[in-house]
Structures are given as C-alpha cells and as structure tokens.
Amino acid sequence: MNRVYIKTYGCQMNERDSEAVAAKLRARGYSLVDNEFDADVVLLNTCSVRDQAEQKAIGKTGYLGKRKRTNPDFIIGIMGCMAQNRGTELVDKLPDLDLLVGTQKFHAIPDHLDNIIATQNGLGPKPSTIVDLDEEEGSQNTIREHLSDSRQVCAFVSIMQGCNMNCAFCIVPKTRGNERCRPIEEIVDEVEELAARGTKEITLLGQIVNSYGRREIPFRNKKSPFVQLLEKVQEVKGIERIRFTSPHPRGFKEDLVEAYRDLSKLCEYVHLPAQSGSNRMLKLMNRPYSRERYLEIVDSLRTVVPGMYFSTDIIVGFPGETDAEFEQTCDLFQEVSFDMAYIFKYSIRTGTPAAEMGDQIPQEVKEARNHRLLGYLRDSSLSRNESMVGSTQEVLIEGKAKRGELYVGKTRGYRNCLVSASDRLIGELVQMKVNRATQSSLYGDLVLSGVDELNKPAPTLSNSLL
C-alpha cells in the first residue's frame, strides 16, 4: 500500500510542489510510480486558474472513484489550488475522496497518508475524508526538498508563496494567500545543494517572483531584495544559467533591467505578462501599468540586451473587450514580436471581481480572437527561429528526446533544440550550429571541439585490409 502516483495540473509552481511532496513521501518510505494503474495512492495536484482545469481534475477523480468501488483500500487525494478554492464542497461532490489538502499543507501529506493506511490495517477507526485547508505560518519554507535519485539538469526553486496583486480575473490570492518569502540564505543553500548534485540551470519561482521580499528585506545599494537574490545565486559555483517566473511588469525597475546586463548567468529571456494591449482593459483587470509603460520596459531590456527573447501572457475576451481594444492587443503583440506566448480565453472564476462584470464576451468571439493571436505567434516564433539558421548557439543538453534518437536541450533564449549527441553530454553546455528551424524547434550539429568525435560512427575496415 505504499505506491504513489502524483498527477499535476497547471503551472511550474504546481510542478515544484508535486516534486517536493514526492520527495517527502519517498523519505517516508513510499514508492513513486509513473503509472496510475500501478499505484495504491493517486494524488491530484490541481489548478484553479481556469474552470477547465478544475473540471479535468473533478472528472479524473470521478473516474478514479470507479476503481475504488472495486478496491476499497485504493486511496484518492486532491491537493493544491482547487482544494483550497472549493474546500469541503469537493467532499460532497466527490464521495470517494480520502484526502483534501490545501496549498499551505503539502508537507503534511505523508502524515495524512500514514493515518489513512493505519486505519485500513485495523489500527484505528476509519476516518471520513481528511480535510486540511488551514493557513500555516512558514509554509513557504517547507517547499525545499528535491528528488535525489536522479540528476536534475534544470531545477525549479520556490522562493515565495502567495500574491498581493488582486488582478480582477485571478483566483490565486484566494488559493495561495498573501505573499510570504523565504530567507535569501535558505534559498542559496538549496541552490548550492542542487549544484553539488549536478544541476546547471535554476528557475526561481513565485506567483509574482520579482516582488520577492519587498516587505521583509530592505533595499541595499538601491537594489531590490529580488536583485540581491539573483546576485547571490550568480555566485553559486556549478550553476550556469538562471531564469525566473512569473514576474509582473510593475517590478521591472532599473535595478532588475541592469541585472540582465551585469549578471552573466541570467539568461536573456524574459516572461513579461501583458494580458492586454488596451489601457482601458488593463485598468479593468486591475493591472497597475499602461501599454506605454509596458513598451518602455521592453525597450529598456532590449537596450541592455539587444537580442532579448520575450514571452508573455494574454487574455482574450475579458468582459467588455471591444473589437477595437482587441486590435490594440494585436498591435502590441506584433510590435513586441513575442517569441512565445500563453494565450488564454477569459474564464469566469467565481469569487473574482471580473466574474461580476457585465458584458461577458461570447465564446465564439473568444475563439476567433485566440486563433488570430496564435497565428501571429506562429509567424513571429518561426521568423525568430529561421533567423538563427547558420548561427552557433550555446545549448544545455537536458536528455534524450521523447521520440527518435536525438537529444533535446535549450538555448539561453529558451529555444528548443534537437541534436545528435550522447548520454555523456547530458547536463553539459555545448555549441550547436543551427542548420534547420521549425516554429517550435531548432535542429543542428555539435561543433564544440572534441564533441564531434563522440558522434562519429566507428571506422570500418577497407576491402584492401580484409
């Protein structure tokens, strides 16, 4: 009864939370399996950003319930944002649920599973669904464990929890609570531990990552706590690349822009959520910046790093969005020429201000707007990739591609690369000459001195020597 499968929905923060839960369970003696059909326990780490994500998790729980009716000892748990958002409503809706754990109680999951299994073994009365949704002081410091049985070339490091921004469309402040940050020293210790195990690339995570520590940690030399943290991570030996997500435009002050100039490990890739190109929409969304300020940030980043790569978040069909306002978003999208974008059709989230707004946009209009922006994205991403054909790019090899014999890696600009390599190059920075490009990937050959020999076929004897 100790085989656990964790299915994760949603963002990188959820992926990191799942990994930390898995590490805690493994330390307790549980086995982590890759297939739900091999598991005695299935935990769903859920997302509430869009209704569709919640419905997928609810549907999955219902499907798992059929298995529980033939095997009463099979354990089903829901954790994360949907658990926090919907609370005990889920217990009534999903009668087969054994465990419901909120976003500040991930560290308690091993204890809860131990208790459930103990009752199944006759060591106590069988409980009803265990519900643990309370806030807990210091919960931001509990997400630090990583799985230790395999090398992580790239790793996520959670630096904070919660969000104080209260965007009109967003449920995150309800599901994650107010901002709480981890101490810089503890984060650096975690990064050093990862580096000692072979990690080369770190992505710092937070709901609004560049607001890190702004209430707890003083500015020093006109530098924000977040930039101070970036400088400390830059000093960690063995770490070659630093990324972060997801920031807010409001946090891109001069010190953070200059960090891209001054910190050699900070990759020239910025995820800069725009949400809309219309100032009226931004105001309705409670986004405290204008279209003009957004473009100023883009220009300032391109001034310090001319080849900067940009990705963004866009919401189409926000309540009241007119055709003209959507055109402003299209203009912004094309002016910045984003390399990557997450384009969302607005979804009503009960409990947010936007859910109470009138003039909701018809679904077919949202679909058409979404499709149009995806077309712009395909064009800009393909154009950027094709511009790199013939160039030589630094690539961090992450592992074998899911299909075929090639290996996969990323450039500093977060472009996906496929190349013929070998296992001994996993975790290494190599030089790749780009010879072909698609919208999503670069293809090329290794050119680093000494690497080419690793990929040549063994020599064959000529006929004269046979």
Domains located in the chain, CATH noted: 3-132 (3.40.50.12160), 139-387 (3.80.30.20), 392-455 (2.40.50.140)
19-58 burial, b for 16+ CB within 10 Å, e for fewer? Answer: bbbbbbbbeeebebbeebeebbbbbbbbbbbbeebbebbb
In the DSSP assignment, the letter for residue 383 is H
pLDDT at 51: 84
Q: What is the rounded average pLDDT of the residues 349-361?
A: 92
- Helix 109-120 and helix 12-27, axial crossing angle in degrees, nearest 10: 50
H/E stretch holding 321: none
Q: Give the up-direction half-sphere exposure of residue 212: CA atoms within 13 A in the CB hemisphere.
A: 27
pLDDT at 151: 80
∠ Cα 311 317 320 (to 5°) = 125
Is the peptide bond preceding residue 246 cis, with omega within 30 degrees of 0? yes
370-400 burial, b for 16+ CB within 10 Å, e for fewer? Answer: bebbeebbeebbeebbeebeeeebbbbbbbe
pLDDT at 449: 60
- Helix 363-387 and helix 323-336, axial crossing angle in degrees, nearest 10: 10
CA-nearest of 203, 201, 212, 202 to 161 is 212
Give the C-alpha separation, 272 to 210, whole Å. Answer: 11
Q: Identify the sign of the CA torsion 209, 160, 27, 56.
A: negative
Highest mean pLDDT of the ranges 77-91, 123-137, 147-161: 77-91
Is the pLDDT score of 451 beyond 60? no
What is the pTM (predicted TM-score) of this model? Answer: 0.91
**Rg for the chain (alpha carbons), in Å?**
24
233-282 pLDDT, tens digit each: 999 999 999 999 999 999 999 999 999 999 999 999 999 999 999 999 99
Q: What is the rounded average pLDDT of the residues 186-190?
A: 97
pLDDT at 460: 33
pLDDT at 404: 86
103-143 pLDDT, tens digit each: 999 999 999 999 999 988 776 666 679 999 998 888 898 89
| Mean pLDDT score of the chain | 92
